[in-house]
Structure 1
Amino acid sequence: MTAAPVFDENKIYAARLFAARARPYLATALYALHIVNSPRVPTMGVDRHWRCYLSPIFVAQRPVEELASILVHEVSHLLRDHHGRSDRYAHAHGLTSRADRLRMNLAADAEINDDAFGDGLQTPPDAVLPSTLGLPHGRLMEEYLGEFALGPWTDAVAWLDCGSGADGLRREWELGPEGANGLSDEQRDAVRYRVAHSIIGQPGSAPRGWRRWAEEAVHPPQPWRALLGAAIRSATFSSGTGDNYTYRRPARRSAAVPGAVLPSLRRTPPRVSVIVDTSGSVSDADLGSALLEVAAIARAVGGRRDLVTVLSCDAAARVVHPLCQAEDIPLVGGGGTDLRAGFEKALRSRLRPDVVVVLTDGQSPWPSRRPGCRTVVGLFPRIVFRSEENPDYVPDPPPEWTHVVEIGTSRT
């Protein structure tokens, strides 16, 4: 009977040193991993608490250089939060099976491996590349998940198991949150932050995928669509919006004033006007994304599409018109890119709006006086055109009486 191989810690430590020398910007993360000898793990895997489990047989079979590449691969799962992203994707799409988690593991591997190797790190012979799944390079895990399914052609990689650190599903061989030597949430964030700064501090030394990750780790993009929607709903349903008085139902306090009938306060659905600035510096993609909030506005006012009106310029009819037709939202078209004209038309309408929503890049004059309703501005990134006549031209910012959400940026 052959004795089980002894776990070779020195080989793993040598592989980690090799990996840190090949990818110095990942050194902090590589040395934050706690190595765990685990005969129950199939090969090598990580949990979400930054423990790295290794099979003694797997370590004995693989050379140091290959183990170094796999260590880089495993720590990449943790840095890129594949466990958290997998949990969110599974929740959003109602995925519950082990097969679904395997597909997430494969998609996460494809995201990592398309530019993980080379430049001192060899590609493991069984590494899952985007080409392994018949997919293009340079995508994110979530994009890959929408483009492939498990089948006979993926049977060859069904053995793959990078642990809960890759797909969020806890394994029986993992120690779990109560186990020793796991990193706290604060420690994990600190490791990610230091790695991101190492990448940003040495431009050109990391692949494009890692540079993109580092920028988002240091300057995380805010969910501007959610912020814009929240700002609109806050303005639409705040106190006083849509409030009116009626004598159809006298106020209860009328009893305290004999001989007088006092009106009661009635809340009606608010009226919303959306002014769309479709100047050339606003892309169709940005405009289309922001207009999705217009449809959300209609739903927010109880499905009363007649209470939402869109004023747009003809230049973006190909974007604005189809969406409004699909959502059955009244569309008032025509006009230039002068926001003052849009405000004037909205405020002179037969049913005066309670809230005005402006989608613009801001390169337009603004009304000199505050309108008698709440105003939310979705501000697209600006392209400032310089001229010889006025090289120091800077567009006027939105007035102080507006609630501004910067679209496509991290600031609000």
Structure 2
Amino acid sequence: MSGYARRLTTEQEDRLSVWRALAEKAAPYTAALLYAARYVNAPGLGTLGAVDPRLRVFLDVDAMIEKWTDEESAQVLVHLMFHVMFDHHSLAEQKLQSDGDLSPDLWRMAADAAVNDDLEDAGITFPSTVSTTAEQIGMDRGLSAPEYYDELSRRAHDADMDLFHLHEMASDLMGGAITLGTDLQDRVSLDFLTSTWEDLDLIAPPAEDFEIVAAVHTVAEEITKAKGAGPGRLGRWAEKITAPSVIPWQIVVGGYLRKAARRKPRGLLKTYSRASRRQAVRVRMPDGSRGRKIILPGTVRPVPTLVVIRDTSGSVSDRELGEMSREIEEIAVQCGVPEDRVFVLDVDDAVYRARSLSEKGVLRSATGGGGTDMRLGLAAIPEVFTEAPELVVVATDGGTSWPETPTAFPVVALVTSDGKDTTPAWIHSVSVHGVPA
């Protein structure tokens, strides 16, 4: 394992919990990202903290404890979450593609200046000695990261500064090891992070795209609920993010299902519920005689279980149910989940028999038509299935009651575009567009 990036110790985890609690208190809307992030101890980082495109947060924990207060360290975490919220890594990729080169140093300065503008507007202070501000670079406040970058780039070219020999490092930036955060002044810090890229997957598994999208969307929803900033760029950003999603819901469901499939043990497991294909063996007794025949266990390859709960109340049309069911069936096929591991459970004000897709005509028929209570449907899962499914997808128009506490299995709600989304915060809901009512 790398001598640089490493897991946090128990004591460091405890201190991180304090910083995260203070960060959540200062900016409550960032909680989803703060708790979804993967934290890595990076002694000698040369700065307080940084974040990569896979939501891995690098912290020089010992230096933070020594030099800064808990409140200032919490401000660092909030600062890093703002980089994720405004998708500064993707903007850097776009800038590289459009301009043909990119100075990572100038981009970090530009992104930091943009973040600190928003932090100030939100009433959150930040240790100015460790991060670039618009005032420090002599520019007007309120610009975006690309706008700050363009001006810094123009100045560098006008002054004939030798900054763009670093453009070859842009490939490292896109690889994910170069991070955004407070100024990375020590070039060695960049080198050891890139050199330990393979180790990082073991220390802190990278976040999937759908996890990051879901966390950012939750942040935006919390801001719109008046838990954060009011008018201003942060408020406008939240309104844009919470507008009807342009990300197809199929991608979200597929992401959850692929993650569920990866959680299953790899390879084959032994089981006596299936006889071995090999010939049975006999144990030779001490006296040399042939003993009793022994049946060898067979093997089975674990596969995830997907449950689709369909809201069959009168407010959801048969056509909507059919369209969503067929899409989910196709997603399951693409993710390698066989028909006999995909179950359909119809629910209105009662719960009906779970049927697998291997049964004929399951998608063409629906049971029920009364009111709706998804509390019953989700509560029935442990009773119907001996093992918790890897994913439960609820297809509904949203006009239903939901459990107040999270279930032991992940739940994704597909809410029709003309429905009312009443899902609780612990359920990831997606608005389904393009399905005719």
Tell me which interval the TM-score lies in, with the shorter structure as reference length.
0.3 to 0.5
TM-score calculated relative to the size of structure 1: 0.45
TM-score calculated relative to the size of structure 2: 0.43
